[in-house]
Amino acid sequence: MNLGFDLDKVFLNYPPLIPDKVIDRLYKKKSNGVLLYRIPSRPEQILRQLIHIPFLRQSIKKNVAFLEAIPRTEHKLYLISSRFSFLEKRTKQITSQRGFDKIFDGMYFNFENKQPHIFKDEVLKKLKIDRYVDDDFHLLKYVAKQNKNTKFFWLNSQKKSHLLTRNITAISDLNDMLK
């Protein structure tokens, strides 16, 4: 089975002291109900490069442990992150330092600066992902419509796993994606 995972808030925490809502507000925008993400301005890019230093982006240990426990004979693991090109150096640094390059069978990043939901849709189809985990519900709603045979999991802080749509399930623990 091909399993796909987002990076931020799945395996790496956001920087401390910066609320998730602030980061989401800087990144996402909606235009007439259409999902859009914006590439930050140059000053914002510099700020985001600073807050993406590995020291400030701690691993989510229980989720990394989950990855390491997955039977590799039964599953292929793919990291699919929509990080833009201005974070390429930091992304390569942190994935190498955390050993993600040794855990995953493939890592795919949006260094061509496509709209994140378009980028992820393309990669999901290319890799024929069976199950995919992300923390961005709006993105999941988009890709779920495009990939009807894939099971999607919205990782959030709710305590109970439950089906949200035909192929999106809310989970608070990665173990729930294999049940």
Closest Cα to residue 82, out of 105, 58, 113?
A: 113
Is-contact 172 158, C-beta < 8 A? yes
Instruction: Label residue 3 by pLDDT band (50, 70, 90).
Output: very high
Fold (topology level) of 2-178: Rossmann fold (3.40.50)
Instruction: Label residue 21 by pLDDT band (50, 70, 90).
Output: low
Pairwise CA distance, residues 143 & 137, whole Å: 10
Does residue 29 surpass a pLDDT of 80?
Answer: no
pTM for the model? 0.91
| pLDDT, tens only, 164-176 | 888 999 999 999 9
Domain spans in the chain, listed from the N-terminal domain onward: 2-178
Pairwise CA distance, residues 62 & 8, whole Å: 14
Does residue 55 surpass a pLDDT of 80?
Answer: no
Q: What is the pLDDT of residue 106?
A: 98
Cβ count near 11 (within 10 Å): 25
Instruction: Label residue 4 by pLDDT band (50, 70, 90).
Output: very high
Q: Sign of torsion, CA 53 158 105 45? A: negative
Instruction: Label residue 19 by pLDDT band (50, 70, 90).
Output: low
Backbone angles phi, psi at 119, to 5 degrees: -55, -50
Q: Sign of torsion, CA 21 22 24 28? A: positive
Structure tokens at 96: 């190498």
Backbone angles phi, psi at 78, to 5 degrees: -130, 135
Residues 6+ apart with CB under 8 A from 124: 4, 80, 132, 143, 146, 147, 150
